[in-house]
């Protein structure tokens, strides 16, 4: 099994993901939100690129849907929830369909349509993502959503953790970028501390999102691995 | 001064390099060859994309030119030198013009034409590259040539060294990828040891190029910083 990493949504190329099992990682915070919502009984997540598209779908039957996501890390007017996983409690999401639009994560999902399988990964479900990848037996590309087209330290260390979990189960061939992600993870047991050096972190501080950060940096608190298929994310 | 890193020639985008001082890094081995050849009295280097183009230019006045480069890390038939910096001695290159074609490095140069300045960097001239960047006062993008469109650990740690040298001279704003390159450099004082983990290294072993590796990993043995302008690389 070969493992590669793409460092931002802008760098996704079809030839790097075709016939691969792809994991979308946007640990701060879109893929942590999706994983949490599904774990709390949300029936499905529909990722969309624009606010207009989200409102249009929700308008068809407003009670059926939750609208979630962000622009510039802030809640979108008319939406129910921001991009904080802590808002997606069982009370809020159970039996609902989440329509979600974010700056980086949903873009990475949409741009990875050529993948053979597409899993939604974060630290909170990292080990289970690795298990599923091992079972699927395809080559793997971990797509870091990044931040505004840039590499993001948080997604990179999260990729390193998923790679480490895969390594414990099977033999793999790592590209240099995968080796470097693994290296960064192994050298930094204090993930919160590492991410505090990221550019992203300033924005987290400004918006007082330290609780989100702490939550998103917990490993393996969720067993479900959401999967994207034909426009919809579900627990398959 | 902002510093960004692009991780492979395939990921170069004009908007990331326009108005920037760009450093092309292909430390194993194209930019180490160019830096060494210029230091040994080579008058200029003309990077070209194809073997045919190289032969055509050299054919105009064969004594004036040295033909150098590689395909699959091997010497090209009809060429004078391979891609080993150790071949580019004073006896071979003095007062000649080197026409060069390589798989990664020359491609990175050609694709970075939108840069404001384009410097040729390696470990062997890293500190002087940093000095020049500080003097130019533009934002900086370090372009890692990578290997066949992939991230390469050797170019990445070399970028980390150049960033470290810049930091010692001026205040900078680092993107996450720049911070990670710096981190990798600072955690690995044994650069040869780090590169021995790279995918690239297998090929170096196969071809018995350990002497090249040791040479390319020496820091700051050369003071010149070659610069690309209008199709030609010179010491300006």
Strands of B55-152 (E only): list them: 65-69, 97-101, 117-121, 140-144
The residue that leads in pLDDT, A28 or A199, is: A28
Return the exposure string of B85-101: e unless at least 16 CB atoms fall within 10 Å of the residue's CB, then b. Answer: bbbbeeebbeebbbbbb
How far apart are alpha carbons B160 and B144 in whole angstroms? Answer: 11
Q: Residue A180 and residue B7: Cβ atoms within 8 Å?
A: no
Q: Residue B183 and residue A184: Cβ atoms within 8 Å?
A: yes
B chain contacts of residue A7, beta-carbon cutoff 8 Å: 7, 151, 177
B chain contacts of residue A155, beta-carbon cutoff 8 Å: none
Q: Report the percent of chain A where pLDDT is more than 70.
A: 100
Which pLDDT band, with edges at 50, 70 and 90, does A159 fall under?
very high
- Determine the pLDDT at residue B150: 92
Give how far Cα B13 sits from Cα of A11, A233, B7, B92, B221, Å. Answer: 10, 31, 11, 36, 32
Q: Which two tokens stand for residue B38?
A: 């210029």
Give the minimum alpha-carbon distance from A129 to chain B in angstroms, rounded to a whole number: 24
Whether B6 and B16 have beta carbons less than 8 Å apart is answered as yes
Closest CB to B153: pick one of A7, A153, A180. Answer: A180
Number of domains in chain A: 1
- Determine the pLDDT at residue A202: 83
A-to-B residue pairs, Cβ atoms closer than 8 angstroms: 59
- Determine the pLDDT at residue B204: 86
Of the candidates B155, B157, B165, the one whose C-alpha atom is nearest the C-alpha of residue B132 is: B165
How far apart are alpha carbons A191 and B105 in whole angstroms? Answer: 35
Give domain status of residue A234, yes or no: no
- Determine the pLDDT at residue B3: 98
Closest CB to B177: pick one of A151, A176, A183. Answer: A151
Pick out chain B residues at pLDDT < 50: none
Which pLDDT band, with edges at 50, 70 and 90, does A121 fall under?
very high
A chain contacts of residue B152, beta-carbon cutoff 8 Å: 176
Give domain status of residue A54, yes or no: yes
pLDDT tens for B147-166 read 988 999 999 999 999 999 99
Give domain status of residue A232, yes or no: no
CATH of the domain at A129: 3.90.1560.10
Closest CB to B156: pick one of A150, A180, A187. Answer: A180
- Determine the pLDDT at residue A203: 84
Query: Is residue A201 predicted with pLDDT exceeding 90?
Result: no
Residue A157: closest C-alpha in chain B = B180
How far apart are alpha carbons A66 and B164 in whole angstroms? Answer: 47
ipTM, two decimals, is: 0.88
Q: Residue A183 and residue B184: Cβ atoms within 8 Å?
A: yes
Average pLDDT score over residue span A21-33: 97
* CB contact residues (below 8 A), chain B span 189-228, against chain A: 197-200
| CB contact B175 to A (< 8 Å) | yes
Counting beta carbons within 10 angstroms of the beta carbon of residue A172, is it exposed (0 to 12), middle (13 to 18) or buried (19 or more)? middle
A chain contacts of residue B153, beta-carbon cutoff 8 Å: 176, 179-180
Whose structure tokens read 């040729």?
B120
- Determine the pLDDT at residue A24: 98
Give the minimum alpha-carbon distance from A40 to chain B in angstroms, rounded to a whole number: 33
Residue A147: closest C-alpha in chain B = B176
Range(s) of the domain holding residue A152: 2-222
- Determine the pLDDT at residue A119: 98
Average pLDDT score over residue span A75-90: 97
Give the minimum alpha-carbon distance from B159 to chain A in angstroms, rounded to a whole number: 14
How far apart are alpha carbons B103 and B49 in whole angstroms? Answer: 8
């Amino acid at each position: 099994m070969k493992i590669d990493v793409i460092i931002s949504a802008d760098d996704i190329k079809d030839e790097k993901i075709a016939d691969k099992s792809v994991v979308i990682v946007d640990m701060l915070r879109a893929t942590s939100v999706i994983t949490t919502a599904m774990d709390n009984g949300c029936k499905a997540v529909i990722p969309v690129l624009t606010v207009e598209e989200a409102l249009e779908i929700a308008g068809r039957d407003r009670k059926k849907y939750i609208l979630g996501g962000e622009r510039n890390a802030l809640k979108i007017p008319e939406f129910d929830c921001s991009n904080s996983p802590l808002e997606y409690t069982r009370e809020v999401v159970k039996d609902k369909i989440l329509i979600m639009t974010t700056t980086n994560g949903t873009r990475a999902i949409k741009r990875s349509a050529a993948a053979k399988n597409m899993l939604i990964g974060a630290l909170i479900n990292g080990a289970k993502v690795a298990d599923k990848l091992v079972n699927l037996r395809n080559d793997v590309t971990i797509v870091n959503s990044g931040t505004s087209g840039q590499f993001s330290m948080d997604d990179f260390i999260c990729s390193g953790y998923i790679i480490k979990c895969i390594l414990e189960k099977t033999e793999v061939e790592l590209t240099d970028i995968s080796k470097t992600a693994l290296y960064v993870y192994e050298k930094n047991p204090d993930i919160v501390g590492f991410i505090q050096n990221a550019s992203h972190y300033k924005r987290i501080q400004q918006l007082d999102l330290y609780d989100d950060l702490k939550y998103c940096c917990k490993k393996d608190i969720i067993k479900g691995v959401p999967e994207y298929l034909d426009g919809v994310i579900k627990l398959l």
